[in-house]
Amino acid sequence: MGDLRNNLHTGRWIQSKIYFGKLWRIFMNERDWKGLPLSAAIALLVASVMGTSLFTNMERLKAGSFAMVCVCIWNGFFNSIQMVCRERAIIKREHRAGLHITAYIGAHMMYQAIMCLLQVVISISIYKWYGITFPAESVVTGNFVLDFGITLWVITYSADMMALMISCIVKTTTAAMTVMPFMLIIQLIFAGIIFTFSSGPAVILEKMTISHWGTVAICSIADYNDLTSHALFSALYQFRSVPEIQSIVDYIQRTEIRYKMDVLAARSMQNSLYEGSVSNVLQCWGVILLIGAVSITIGTLCLELIDLDKR
């Protein structure tokens, strides 16, 4: 902190650069980099559960998209949930000596942007190494991997900013780790995948979650509505223990009826929410980034009041 104390009365940009350098020194010297191998392990675990045919039908895509969004939110939360509160006493002392809170938060935003990018690159590399087949094209840039990477980064970074907000509000790392599971549960429940909502406050809360818009974004860039569905055949297949139904299942699998059933089921499951258009994907990205921007704004305003701490 010595360099910072000598520059407390300098501009915000200088202070941001000093703090940014401090964060990288912590990354290298205090092993904050250990979060990157953990990201790889989580991505590998999810890939092994999803399988290589993630983008081949509606059911797999929807479930897999939700799983990957959960990975991103998990990474983002753990990146910064303790970053501010663990040095709150230092921040308070430096703020009274001239530290700009916006410069401090700005340094964290730049640092976390890079961390999130590294995690996304690692995750996509794991998915490709595992053998998941990606679509060749996408709607925004034309390159699916690029659109997919941007989507994962937007989700991870916004979750990171939400966790940074929590870290700015609470006063101890224990409190931060207590709040985090509740934030994760909200993201899981109100994503619109495990549970669906049609009315009431739950619909409003769903529209405010990163998980909801993240899942919609991945399904949209992967052309959810253009895929087939195994729902109809799967419903029949589960009763194959009945000899008569087993014979029907065998017949369906030997003919083109199976494909026709998949197409018919897909038509009934198409959802305008997952429209594969540029405007829809950009809307998802925009809402997710807006959630992150609102979160970090609230966190900054709360940290500006650090001088009121009684400790």
* Mean predicted confidence (pLDDT) in 61-85: 92
d(CA 228, CA 261): 9
CA separation for the pair 73, 187 (Å, rounded): 8
* Cα distances (angstroms) measured from residue 81 to each of 2, 33, 46, 63, 177: 25, 15, 23, 27, 7
pLDDT score, position 161: 96
Q: What is the pLDDT of residue 2?
A: 47
Taken in order 125, 126, 131, 136, the sign of the CA dihedral is: negative
84 Cβ neighbours under 8 A, 6+ residues apart: 91, 108, 164, 167, 168, 299, 303
Q: For residues 128 and 11, what is the distance between their CA atoms, to the nearest angstrom?
A: 44
pLDDT tens column, 25-72: 888 876 677 778 888 999 999 899 888 888 888 888 999 999 999 999
Cβ atoms 186, 209 nearer than 8 A: yes
Top-confidence residue, 309 or 151: 151
Q: What is the pLDDT of residues 169-213, one digit of tens each?
A: 998 999 999 999 999 999 999 998 888 887 788 889 999 999 999
pLDDT-derived band at 241 (thresholds 50, 70, 90) equals confident
* Cα–Cα distance for residue pair 182/301, rounded to 1 Å: 22
Sign of CA dihedral 219, 222, 223, 224: negative
Alpha carbon separation from 31 to 17, 23, 41, 78, 185 (Å, rounded): 21, 11, 17, 14, 28
pTM to 2 decimals?
0.90
Q: Tell me the pLDDT tens digit for each residue of 102-146.
A: 999 999 999 999 999 999 999 999 999 999 989 988 899 999 999
Find the mean pLDDT for residues 254-262: 82
pLDDT in the model for residue 77:
94
Sequence length of the chain is 311
User: b/e per residue, 102-138, with b = 16+ CB within 10 A?
Assistant: ebbbbbbbebbeebbeebbebbbebbeebebebbeeb
* pLDDT surpassing 50 at residue 87: yes
pLDDT at 5 over 60: no
Rounded percentage of the chain residues whose pLDDT exceeds 90? 50
Backbone angles phi, psi at 190, to 5 degrees: -100, 25
Per-residue model confidence (pLDDT) at position 277: 92
Q: What is the end-to-end Cα distance of the chain in Å, rounded?
A: 21
| Mean pLDDT score, 272-290 | 94
pLDDT for the residue numbered 7: 54
Give the model's confidence band at 220: pLDDT under 50 very low, under 70 low, under 90 confident, else very high.
very high
Q: How far apart are CA 146 and CA 154, in angstroms?
A: 12
